[in-house]
Structure 1
Amino acid sequence: MAFLFWIAIGLSACHSSSDPTLYEAEKVMKSYPDSALVLLEAIRNPEKMPAGDYATWCLLVTQARDKNYVEHTSDSLIGVAVRYFEKRKDPHRKAQVYYCQGRVLSDLDLEGEALEAYLKAKEQAVQTIDYDLRARINNHLGGLYWKNMNYRESLVSYKEAHQAYACISDTAGMVNTLCNVGKCLQGMDRLDSASFYYGKALKLADEGDIQAQKGTVLTSLGNINMDRGRYTTALEYYRGALQNADNPKFLDIEYYNLGDIYHALGQTDSALFYLGKISGSEDLFTRCSANRLLYQLAKESGVPDSAFAYNETYLQLRDSIEHLYRPHELERMKALYNKERMQNRHDRQMQEVEIRQLVWVVLFLASLVVGTFIYSYFNKKLSLLKLRNQEAMKMLNENRRQLSVKDKELSENNARLEIVQQSLCQIRKEKDRLVKERDEQVRILEEDNWKQQAEYEQQLEEIETRSKRIVEEKEKILHEKEVLVHQKDLLLGQQDSRLSSMSKDEKLYKEQIGILTSEQQQTKQEMKTLRTEIDTLRLGSETQLQQELESKKDYSSLCKMYEAWQKELISQNSCLSCIRDRLVLDIWKERDWEVFMENFNQVYPGFLTHLTGSFNLTDREIRIVCLTKLGLKTTKVSTVFNLGEDMIRRIKSDIRKRCFPTSTAHSLDQIIKRWY
């Protein structure tokens, strides 16, 4: 039997997929189903492939179309895969083909056959560790039971799906299945339990930031409060659900819920407003419920003609919906499937019994034939075998004892491991909280630093402007005073020459000499006063310049502190620090730029937004400015763009001339280093 088993394994291995395209398509199926579908449909003449590859192709094409929401119109492809893999001992492939067969049959409105396919898939999936596939199978089973009002079976399936999603920590799947469990409990009038599960789903959606499913949870909570008569609370939930609804189908449901709650609150106009939006809805159930509620509103408003029309439409839609429910047929199909499964199991057991009996007969006859020849040999070694068996039993007992001890140690280690895992989860939560607080503090410090830097730069420019203006005014005043002193010296010389020429007439000019002498003394006094003022102005100018130099030193120290802080942030970012420290860089592709810009925005938040808002730059110029802000030299920048260094320098010069025309004394690297 073991030999036959290994032969079967070898044969199945020989039929495994050998086409690399099929391998690649299955590899990317979960993350990129659209790419997988393109790869599979690009294969020409797949029917000419080996049987195993063709069956795999049929399975993967059906799976890719289902993941891309392409409606199935035929079961021929999946039928090929089912017929092939049914004969193989591969539970995972069987579960996949049966699940895909169920999806196809559901699209073809063959719910009984779909139920049978899902049950077969579930039976095979429990033999695998693919929890995602288990969850999807049970989810669709629960939906099929729910559609046909079998709430108890639906509840069991949804709970099993939730357990499978929990094993792989799929938050979105857990939220969805918790909502489905609450829906089943609500259908069974167990409103308290339903509220509990809806509350867990809402909390999990908030923790995982899953906005897409939050609207469904809020709608369900609103329905429960509506059933309990808490209309105001229900209205708040419905409004919150409407804010989170983006799918047109969900919008129709939210419009109907708002119309229903406004009708319960007696606000007829508001109810008619929302019901009018879904009177032409594509969903049969929503349109039926809307016409029923419009009939009640028209009847209460005393409009019999409209009430009659709405009621007729409601009855027609209700008849159409009733044809969709086939719970008895589903139960019959499930019973037939269970009966067939039990019969097949019984037949397999009978075949195994017959094979075992035949093997035992053959072995017995062979033992009779061979026993006569080896009886004497075994009789001699019987005593030796007994001794060996006794020793083996002793060793076996000792191994059992050691095994029990190891089991106890293992259970204790498992308990300690659970405690360590719990503490690790708490540490991770605390770490996430501290990281968020640190990021917030860094963002606040950066904003303050940018504001202070802009203020310091503006103050420095104003100080430099005032200093230049004061120095120019002082130099002008000094020049004018020196001209006046020179003119007075010339005047005194002329007066001295006149006095010498007029010495003969001393008597006539004594009074003039006295007057000139007094004027000379007065002029000397004015010269002293002017020199004192000049010294005072020079001293004040030197004091002011000293203060300005000190403020400039303070600003420089702040700039150095900011640069050191930026370097620390860059060193904490592994991507940017690697780019900055590497001596030689490669040519970057678009994916490399996306990773770089994402990390750059973490270290320099707001810089890119301020840059694009302030100047009209191309994508290449923006990237060059960002690399310059990081501190990369022209050589590295030219390597990244695969351009010459002269070309990069010309681009930088053009950016400086267009964006910073007044800063002619500085390069673009110096400007960007301190800008924003």
Structure 2
Amino acid sequence: MKKLQLVLLAIVSLFVLAGCHGDKQYDDLLQQADSIMNIDDDSAKVAIKLLDKAKPQLNDFSKAQRMRYQLLYHKAKNKADILFSSDSIMKNVVAYYEKHGTSNERMLAYYMLGCVYRDLYEAPMALENYDKATEQADTTKKDCDYTTLSRIYGQMGILFEKQHIPYQELSALNNATKYAYLAKDTLNAILFFQNKSTAFYDLSEIDSAIHINLKAYNLLKKHGYDQIANIVFGCNYGYYIEKKDYKRAKESFKIFKKTEYNGNDNYEDSKAYIFCEQGDYYLFSGQLDSAFLCLNQSLKLSKSYSNKCAATKGLAKYYTKTNHSALAAKYALLSSEYNDSSLYELRESQLQQMQAMYDYSRNQKLAKEAEYKAKQRLHTIYLIIISSCLILLSAVYIYRKNIRKRNHKLLVAQRLYKASILKLQTTKTELAHLKNLNETKIAALIKEKEAVIENLQKEINQYESIHSGRNLVEINKQLMDTFVYKKLAYIECHPQEKITDETWDNLEETLEGMIPSLANIKLKLSKKEYRICLLTRLHFSPSAISCFMQCNLPDISMSRKRMLSKLCEKDGKPKELDEYIQHLM
């Protein structure tokens, strides 16, 4: 039934692949592949075939889809027990998901990178990435991927077992069991629990190992996994042999034989190991013929020195019991030689692990030194930036202070200028009035007033010379730096914004403060014309002025012609008014 389900899913996936033309279709394809491999470990090969067929279309994938493709491809290969040979792709995937992934995606990415290093025999790097993977898991969220988290701890347990670190192995398997239960993966939770028996055996706690297997047996039976339960129960017969408990060893062995279990297919010496264990039992129970057959078969199948050592040791015991001392000595010697070779192999493996640890520690040290240097460079850069900012702020402060002083002087001069203009107008009015009086009576007074007018005109000329001395370009630059000009420029770029009365008032106040001669013009123009005049002085185009004034362009042109007549007492083009207004200082 499960194979039929896989076939149907594969057919559906091929249809999805055939119709892939766009992001959504590629997402559906990747989701389909993920769903297939999650059915069980055997289904991973079907997912790999599906992903292989999509490989020619990878260039059409977005970056996010390519990263997910590689992540799922590595996940499928790992579930299918296909060894990894390079870490380059997964390092890029991890770097991508560090910035863009969810907690579950980061966890899976680090887990896959750890599996790559596991296959490259770099145990320290594998454990480091497994640790990082567990750190990514957010167990406070409902969608936490407990299934992957439990498998990570399971892989850590296997690595600790190979390195003969039983206490860390027990800790990892406890976590694997806990999270498998949270993932509702009851079978794997029980199997993780059962794997603790080997750690207790390595600690010489045989009773604890037996207890673990018996408890796992009861749990498996309870949940209906009878075949696996019997295998687990049968595993105890080797422990009972060591305890010289013939009755329990016989009971366990009998149940184990009924399962017809031939060992783990992923372990090349599994059958040889099973035959050797059975041979030991037959020796223990006095069934010498059966013992010989099993041990001899184990020796034929054995590829590892450790299995050959165990098989020849068993044969030496067999020949001792059958009084064949010469053969017993021969196999005892062979067992010793195989044991030496096994120890040499183990020592070489440990040396490789030590070398890997040394390389890892050295790389960590180099990485820390590089990180320290990078931090030092960063601190230097920060110091330079901060110093530059302080210098810039100081320069800006000094510049603004000088501008304020200059503006203050101009403001005082402007006030005096306005006062002089007002006094001049008053005096002219008085003079005009006096001229209507009897010239003979007021000749002296007229002369006095004319003298005053002459003096005032000189003062006005002096003040005007102060202002006229300023460069037109400089005044225009100052105008462009004003807040009101920037406000109007912003409104010009955003037509939906309107000029408020406050902005008009601010415009008049700012320009009259910087260009005193505008005060005379204001008296001759209407409010609308004066505003057009101010906007023209700021070099805004007629079209922009029409938008500001909310009237059409011909109306603006007519107003400019009228102002030319009023201010310059001549008829001409609107541009002549613009030229006149834009040169006011």
Shift in alpha-carbon separation, 1:139–1:44, aligned structure 2, 3 A: closer
- 8 Å contact from structure 1 (residues 211, 244) kept in 2: no
Aligned partner of 1:204 in structure 2 is 219
Using the TM superposition, give the Cα deviation of residue 363 of structure 1 relative to its aligned residue in structure 2, in angstroms: 12
Matched, 1:307 2:322: no
Which of the residues 86, 90, 94 maps onto 2:95? 86
- The one-character-per-residue Cα deviations of 1:70-94 (angstroms, maximum 9, x if unpaired) are x32x524x52132342354145445
Shift in alpha-carbon separation, 1:16–1:367, aligned structure 2, 3 A: farther
In 1: Cα distance, 2:362 partner to 2:227 partner: 42
Aligned partner of 1:169 in structure 2 is 184
Shift in alpha-carbon separation, 1:148–1:307, aligned structure 2, 3 A: farther
Matched, 1:270 2:290: yes
| 1:539-550 aligned within 5 A | none
| 1:100-499 aligned within 5 A | 100-107=112-119, 110-111=120-121, 113-128=122-137, 129-249=144-264, 252-282=272-302, 284=304, 285-311=306-332, 313-315=334-336, 317-322=338-343, 323-324=345-346, 326-330=349-353, 333-334=356-357, 337=360, 354=378, 358=382, 361=386, 365=390
- Equivalent position SS for 2:261: coil
Using the TM superposition, give the Cα deviation of residue 212 of structure 1 relative to its aligned residue in structure 2, in angstroms: 4.5
- 8 Å contact from structure 1 (residues 56, 81) kept in 2: no
Using the TM superposition, give the Cα deviation of residue 191 of structure 1 relative to its aligned residue in structure 2, in angstroms: 2.6
* 2:73 counterpart letter in structure 1: V
Unaligned runs of 5+ in 1: 1-14, 374-676
In 2: Cα distance, 1:283 partner to 1:197 partner: 30
Aligned partner of 1:38 in structure 2 is 49
Shift in alpha-carbon separation, 1:156–1:18, aligned structure 2, 3 A: same
Aligned partner of 1:3 in structure 2 is none
- 8 Å contact from structure 1 (residues 179, 197) kept in 2: yes
- Equivalent position SS for 1:279: helix
- The one-character-per-residue Cα deviations of 1:282-304 (angstroms, maximum 9, x if unpaired) are 56344432222012211332324
- The one-character-per-residue Cα deviations of 1:438-489 (angstroms, maximum 9, x if unpaired) are xxxxxxxxxxxxxxxxxxxxxxxxxxxxxxxxxxxxxxxxxxxxxxxxxxxx
- The one-character-per-residue Cα deviations of 1:223-260 (angstroms, maximum 9, x if unpaired) are 33222221221121122122224335566544433321
Kindly name which structure, 1 or 2, has the bigger radius of gyration based on alpha carbons.
Answer: 2
Q: How many residues align?
A: 353
Shift in alpha-carbon separation, 1:53–1:181, aligned structure 2, 3 A: same
- 8 Å contact from structure 2 (residues 213, 235) kept in 1: yes
* 2:154 counterpart letter in structure 1: N
Matched, 1:75 2:85: yes
In 1: Cα distance, 2:331 partner to 2:225 partner: 38
In 2: Cα distance, 1:98 partner to 1:306 partner: 54
* 2:31 counterpart letter in structure 1: Y
Using the TM superposition, give the Cα deviation of residue 40 of structure 1 relative to its aligned residue in structure 2, in angstroms: 0.4
In 2: Cα distance, 1:190 partner to 1:248 partner: 24
Using the TM superposition, give the Cα deviation of residue 351 of structure 1 relative to its aligned residue in structure 2, in angstroms: 6.2
- Equivalent position SS for 2:195: helix
Shift in alpha-carbon separation, 1:227–1:364, aligned structure 2, 3 A: farther
Shift in alpha-carbon separation, 1:346–1:67, aligned structure 2, 3 A: same
- The one-character-per-residue Cα deviations of 1:404-442 (angstroms, maximum 9, x if unpaired) are xxxxxxxxxxxxxxxxxxxxxxxxxxxxxxxxxxxxxxx
* 1:258 counterpart letter in structure 2: Q
Aligned partner of 1:96 in structure 2 is 108
* 2:129 counterpart letter in structure 1: K
Aligned partner of 2:435 in structure 1 is none
Unaligned runs of 5+ in 2: 1-22, 138-143, 265-269, 401-585
Aligned partner of 1:621 in structure 2 is none
- The one-character-per-residue Cα deviations of 1:25-59 (angstroms, maximum 9, x if unpaired) are 12332114233112101124366355554443333
- The one-character-per-residue Cα deviations of 1:495-548 (angstroms, maximum 9, x if unpaired) are xxxxxxxxxxxxxxxxxxxxxxxxxxxxxxxxxxxxxxxxxxxxxxxxxxxxxx
In 1: Cα distance, 2:325 partner to 2:293 partner: 20
In 2: Cα distance, 1:216 partner to 1:163 partner: 23
- Equivalent position SS for 2:37: coil
Using the TM superposition, give the Cα deviation of residue 162 of structure 1 relative to its aligned residue in structure 2, in angstroms: 1.9
- 8 Å contact from structure 2 (residues 67, 96) kept in 1: no
In 2: Cα distance, 1:283 partner to 1:213 partner: 27
- The one-character-per-residue Cα deviations of 1:146-168 (angstroms, maximum 9, x if unpaired) are 22323233222222222222322
In 2: Cα distance, 1:289 partner to 1:364 partner: 76
Shift in alpha-carbon separation, 1:297–1:100, aligned structure 2, 3 A: same
- 8 Å contact from structure 2 (residues 272, 301) kept in 1: yes
Shift in alpha-carbon separation, 1:261–1:248, aligned structure 2, 3 A: closer
- 8 Å contact from structure 1 (residues 275, 290) kept in 2: yes
Cα RMSD for the two superposed structures: 3.9
In 1: Cα distance, 2:225 partner to 2:29 partner: 34
TM-score, normalisation: structure 2:
0.51
- 8 Å contact from structure 1 (residues 79, 101) kept in 2: no
Shift in alpha-carbon separation, 1:104–1:352, aligned structure 2, 3 A: closer
- 8 Å contact from structure 2 (residues 193, 212) kept in 1: yes
* 2:278 counterpart letter in structure 1: L
In 2: Cα distance, 1:17 partner to 1:328 partner: 50
- 8 Å contact from structure 1 (residues 103, 114) kept in 2: no
Using the TM superposition, give the Cα deviation of residue 276 of structure 1 relative to its aligned residue in structure 2, in angstroms: 3.8
Shift in alpha-carbon separation, 1:346–1:125, aligned structure 2, 3 A: farther
In 1: Cα distance, 2:397 partner to 2:214 partner: 74
Shift in alpha-carbon separation, 1:145–1:188, aligned structure 2, 3 A: same
Shift in alpha-carbon separation, 1:337–1:172, aligned structure 2, 3 A: farther
- 8 Å contact from structure 1 (residues 216, 241) kept in 2: yes
Shift in alpha-carbon separation, 1:363–1:245, aligned structure 2, 3 A: farther
- Equivalent position SS for 1:119: helix
Aligned partner of 1:456 in structure 2 is none
In 2: Cα distance, 1:145 partner to 1:47 partner: 38
Using the TM superposition, give the Cα deviation of residue 339 of structure 1 relative to its aligned residue in structure 2, in angstroms: 7.0
